């Protein structure tokens, strides 16, 4: 496919830079001082300008191999091309729309080993001409890259870290977020539970740091939507859930009168063992059961089925939330280029960050970026494994600007200082 051919070429460029080489175009020859340009020189300069106008808009995708501990209950193996496949599809979509404006797009994709240096990789991508970089990295790496001096004039998209801190104390003027924050996910779930009048929550928190962050977002949502956390327990993981869950889970989930069991288990260590085994017949939600997410394979409304089909034709699998976040970031650049009918990176970045910009993400409403923290505002889905249950914002939750701002941190409560 043309996309993969471009991927190989541009990755080779990055590898060449990594090896210490420099790939630069030959300098244009100008006439000597005081001498008029010849017809041949004028023609050459015109051709160079035309080629420059048609040079591809470069977008980079940077990720890193992460050593993940084995999950106890997660039966779905993580695809090797997760994230990258979303970037490849978006580049193809950008080319489809850009063809009519004689625009082209190139993807520089870099996957670092676990011991690789993201800062050095980003510097090389910038040196290769990339002014738009999609980061599919953990939060500490994203925060560090956004503060590199070399990245000051580069627009970075966070498509891999849901951490609220990146939208608060660690925010940056050059950093946007296409993956929903944990606060947005918890608010989407909280709205639906409030709509169902399930206001008594039993919270189960896993042992990993990310589980604690998810649980904190759930506690925040409980306060926002009038719910009460009647029990707040930590899952110790000191027994083999696959063999003893039928005996252990009922004991663990006793205590308190609750309407719903909410799980904070982002790695899938134990959450799948909780449904149908609780002491009382109660629904399960959070990271298992009813899950808030930006994308799901059961979503087909608002032309989402077309995006699903294009992705499956390309990658032979379902699009994941991470794929969608990367796709949305790359498509934002393509949409800006279409609107401006130009390729200047600074102008494109300014439009993307402006309040006038929005682009379709196949969720029923157009997405845009909040000026106070760089988060992409968008609807979210609430789904079980094989069923789409609802979409947030839930009807009835109002906001003076847009109902989409009922999900996540609103402007008055934002702790992002770098964007003010």
Work out the percent of the chain whose per-residue pLDDT is above 70: 84
Q: pLDDT confidence of 417, banded at 50, 70, 90?
A: very high
pLDDT tens for each residue of 198-248 = 999 999 999 999 999 999 999 999 999 999 999 999 998 666 666 678 888
Look at residue 7 and tell me whether its pLDDT is greater than 80: no
Look at residue 44 and tell me whether its pLDDT is greater than 60: no
Measure CA 309 to chain center: 20
Look at residue 9 and tell me whether its pLDDT is greater than 60: no
Q: pLDDT confidence of 75, banded at 50, 70, 90?
A: low
pTM: 0.87
Token pair 């048609």 is at which residue? Answer: 54
Work out the percent of the chain whose per-residue pLDDT is above 90: 79
Look at residue 10 and tell me whether its pLDDT is greater than 80: no
Whats the size of the chain, residue-wise? 420
pLDDT tens for each residue of 26-42 = 333 333 334 444 444 44
**pLDDT: which is higher, 56 or 236:** 56
> Residues 374-407, buried b or exposed e (16+ Cβ, 10 A)?
bbbbbbbbbbbeeebebbbbbeebeeeeebbbbb
Look at residue 316 and tell me whether its pLDDT is greater than 70: yes
Give 184-293's CATH code, choosing from 3.90.1150.10, 3.40.50.2300, 3.40.50.300, 3.30.70.20: 3.40.50.2300
> What CATH class has 57-66+78-180+295-378?
alpha beta
Look at residue 404 and tell me whether its pLDDT is greater than 90: yes
| 5 prior amide bond cis, ω within 30 | no
CB 157 within 8 A of CB 151: no
In 326-395, at which residue ranges do the beta strands (DSSP E only) sit? 368-369, 376-377, 380-384, 387-392
Question: What are the residue boundaries of the structural domains of the chain, listed by start?
Answer: 57-66+78-180+295-378, 184-293
Q: Stretch 321-334: mean pLDDT, rounded?
A: 98
Lowest-confidence segment of 50-54, 66-70, 157-161, 409-413 by average pLDDT: 50-54
> Residues 44-68, buried b or exposed e (16+ Cβ, 10 A)?
eeeeeeeeeeeebbbbbbbbbeeee
The predicted structure's pLDDT at residue 333: 98
Whether 57-66+78-180+295-378 shares its CATH topology with 184-293 is answered yes
Look at residue 45 and tell me whether its pLDDT is greater than 90: no
Mean pLDDT of the chain: 88
């Amino acid at each position: 496919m043309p996309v993969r051919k471009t991927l190989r070429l541009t990755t080779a460029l990055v590898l060449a830079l990594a090896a210490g080489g420099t790939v630069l175009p030959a300098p244009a020859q100008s006439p000597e001082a005081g001498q008029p340009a010849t017809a041949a020189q004028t023609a050459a300069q015109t051709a160079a300008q035309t080629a420059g106008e048609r040079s591809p808009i470069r977008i980079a995708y940077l990720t890193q191999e992460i050593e993940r501990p084995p999950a106890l209950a997660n039966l779905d193996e993580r695809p090797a091309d997760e994230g990258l496949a979303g970037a490849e599809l978006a580049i193809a979509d950008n080319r489809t729309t850009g063809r009519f404006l004689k625009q082209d797009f190139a993807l520089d994709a870099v996957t670092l080993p676990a011991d690789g240096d993201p800062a050095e990789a980003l510097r090389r991508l910038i040196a290769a001409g990339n002014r738009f970089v999609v980061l599919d990295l953990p939060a500490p790496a994203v925060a560090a890259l956004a503060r590199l001096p070399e990245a000051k004039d580069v627009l970075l998209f966070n498509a891999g870290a849901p951490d609220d801190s990146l939208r608060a104390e660690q925010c940056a003027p050059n950093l946007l977020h296409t993956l929903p924050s944990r606060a947005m996910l918890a608010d989407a779930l909280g709205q639906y539970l409030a709509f169902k009048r399930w206001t008594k929550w039993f919270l189960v928190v896993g042992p990993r740091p990310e589980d604690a962050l998810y649980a904190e977002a759930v506690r925040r949502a409980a306060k926002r939507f009038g719910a009460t956390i009647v029990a707040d327990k930590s899952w110790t993981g000191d027994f083999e859930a696959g063999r003893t869950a039928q005996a252990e889970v009922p004991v663990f989930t006793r205590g308190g009168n609750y309407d719903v069991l909410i799980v904070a288990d982002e790695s899938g260590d134990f959450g799948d063992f909780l449904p149908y085994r609780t002491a009382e017949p109660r629904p399960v939600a959070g990271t298992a059961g009813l899950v808030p997410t930006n994308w799901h394979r059961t979503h087909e409304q608002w032309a989402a089925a077309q995006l699903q089909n294009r992705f499956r034709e390309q990658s032979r699998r379902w699009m994941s939330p991470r794929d969608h976040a990367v796709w949305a970031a790359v498509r934002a650049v393509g949409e800006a280029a279409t609107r401006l009918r130009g390729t200047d990176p600074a102008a494109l970045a300014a439009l993307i960050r402006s309040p006038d910009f929005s682009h379709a993400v196949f969720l029923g409403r157009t997405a845009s970026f909040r000026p106070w923290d760089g988060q992409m505002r968008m609807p979210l889905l609430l789904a079980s494994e094989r069923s789409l249950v609802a979409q947030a914002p839930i009807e009835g939750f109002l906001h003076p600007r847009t109902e989409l701002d009922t999900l996540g941190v609103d402007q008055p409560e934002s702790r992002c200082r770098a964007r003010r």
